[in-house]
Amino acid sequence: MSDEAPVLRAEGVTVALGGRIALEDAHLSVRPGQLVGLIGPNGAGKTTLLRAVLGLTPLASGRVLVAGQPVSEARRLIGYVPQRHEFAWDFPVDITGAVLSGRTKRIGWLRRPAAADHAAVERALELTGLTDLRRRPIGELSGGQRQRVLVARALAAEPRILLLDEPFTGVDVPTQELLNDLFGRLAEDGTALLMTTHDLAAAARTCTRVVLLNRTVVAEGGPELLSDPDRMLRAFGLDRAAVPHQRTSDKEAAA
């Protein structure tokens, strides 16, 4: 595990949405070179936490620091891969244009991209295997290709930390394998990654740490945490006695 200072630190983060508490006193840190899986049931606050890190959701209390700075001063250090339905795929632009839009925070509005911006886009296209498709309109892409575009768009920003919201949902196996390999290489190169996912098998294989979230952090540790039935049941709001196969196992053990 890296001994470097965390790129991301969330301290006592509480978020209220629509009059209810969506996150309560959540603490989380991600260091350079870590791929942290954020695991929990639907409605647990995983996407809310990502949006809080991005500064898109106001905090009721607590704070978020990126590279030791408030989010308002460090947005250019964050790359974000949203769920695919959040992107405007009917926009008349090709893959290169979509990926270049990830440089907007660095370029600024109404300014022309410089050589460094085009070079960053080229690197992102190469990393995600999209170089040969660069001129294809985004409206003609498959689900897996669209997911790679979103990852490339985030990487074009050259982030210190990459936030990934369910990157494997609805993608084919080759795309999942490509992304798993890419995320691992990014971590090896020192990028910090925070990924929400329902794919527990993939998280167990690829994550250096996992955080179990259900409105607050229930537990965190190495990927072996995903094999701890008590903590997993608690994170998903289940009672061990309410799980049929567990009752059967207990009876067999007692026989």
pLDDT tens column, 164-187: 999 988 888 999 999 999 999 999
Q: Which residues contact 137 (CB under 8 A, 6 or more apart)?
A: 92, 93, 94
Residues 71-83 have a mean pLDDT of 92
Q: What is the pLDDT of residue 233?
A: 85
Please give the Cα distance from 37 to 219 (Å, whole number).
12
Q: What is the pLDDT of residue 251?
A: 37
Domain 8-254 = CATH 3.40.50.300: yes
The better pLDDT of the pair 19, 161 is held by: 161
> Could you report the per-residue pLDDT of 93-148, keeping only the tens digit for each?
999 999 999 988 777 667 788 999 999 999 999 999 999 999 999 999 999 999 99
pLDDT at 224 over 50: yes
Q: What is the pLDDT of residue 255?
A: 34
Residues 157-166 have a mean pLDDT of 95
| DSSP annotation of 237 | T
Q: What is the pLDDT of residue 237?
A: 74
Could you tell me which residues are beta bridge partners of residue 13? 26
Give residue limits of the domains in the chain.
Answer: 8-254
Burial 181-215 (b: 16+ CB within 10 A, else e): ebbbebbeeebbbbbbbebeebbbebbbbbbbbbb
% of residues, the chain, pLDDT over 70 = 91
Nearest to 27 by CA among 218, 233, 228: 218
- Token output for 246: 């567990």
Least confident segment among 16-20, 51-55, 131-135, 152-156: 16-20
Q: What is the pLDDT of residue 135?
A: 96
- Token output for 52: 């809080």
pLDDT at 243 over 90: no
pLDDT at 2 over 80: no
Give the chain's mean pLDDT. 88
Distance linking the first and last C-alpha atoms of the chain: 44
Please give the Cα distance from 252 to 176 (Å, whole number).
38
Res. 3 pLDDT band, cuts 50 70 90: low
Neighbours of 161 (CB within 10 A): 24
Nearest to 51 by CA among 89, 78, 85, 87: 78
pLDDT at 85 over 90: no
Burial 123-132 (b: 16+ CB within 10 A, else e): ebbebbbbee
pTM: 0.86
